[in-house]
Amino acid sequence: MLDPKLNEKLRRTVSIPVRYFELARPVRFCDSPPPLPYTLTLMWEQVFPSLGENISRDKKRGYTPIPVTLESLTQTLQKLYGFEADTSSNKGFPKKNGLRLPLRTLDSLRMAHRGDHCGILCH
């Protein structure tokens, strides 16, 4: 840089406490996969109830069947609690592959079952 004073100002770092940053929405995922119980709790308590709001309870089955695909769940979680993929190097997170295990876990716990084209969550 030609201006030594400006050059020196740009070289100095200023620490800003995170409490001064305000996010537009609650970010709950970062680029590394979260623990399985965390993901399951977030999906079961926050995401699935909102997905099932306009679906009637199946009295015969005893639950509200919520159709979910891995793709739609990934997009929903990225939009609400992570980051959507963009044209930069950001591929979005949580990643689709990171949500396979939580869905399989719900299936193994009999809280969901796999359908023909998507999963059906029993909520």
In tens, the pLDDT along 93-120 reads: 899 889 999 999 999 998 888 876 556 5
Q: Provide the phi-psi class of 13: left if phi over 0, else alpha when psi is between -120 and 50, else beta.
A: beta
**If you write DSSP's letter for every residue of 64-90 in order, what string do you get?**
-EEEE-HHHHHHHHHHHHSB---SSS-
Sheet-wide strand order for 112-114: 65-68, 119-122, 112-114
Look up the pTM and report it: 0.71
How many structural domains comprise the chain?
Answer: 1
Residue that the structure tokens 């306009």 belong to = 54
Query: In one letter, which amino acid is 35?
Result: P
pLDDT at 34 over 70: yes
Given pLDDT bands bounded at 50, 70 and 90, which one contains residue 62? Answer: confident
Predicted confidence (pLDDT) at residue 121 exceeds the cutoff of 80: no
Q: Residue 78's pLDDT is what?
A: 92
Residue 16 structural domain: 4-122
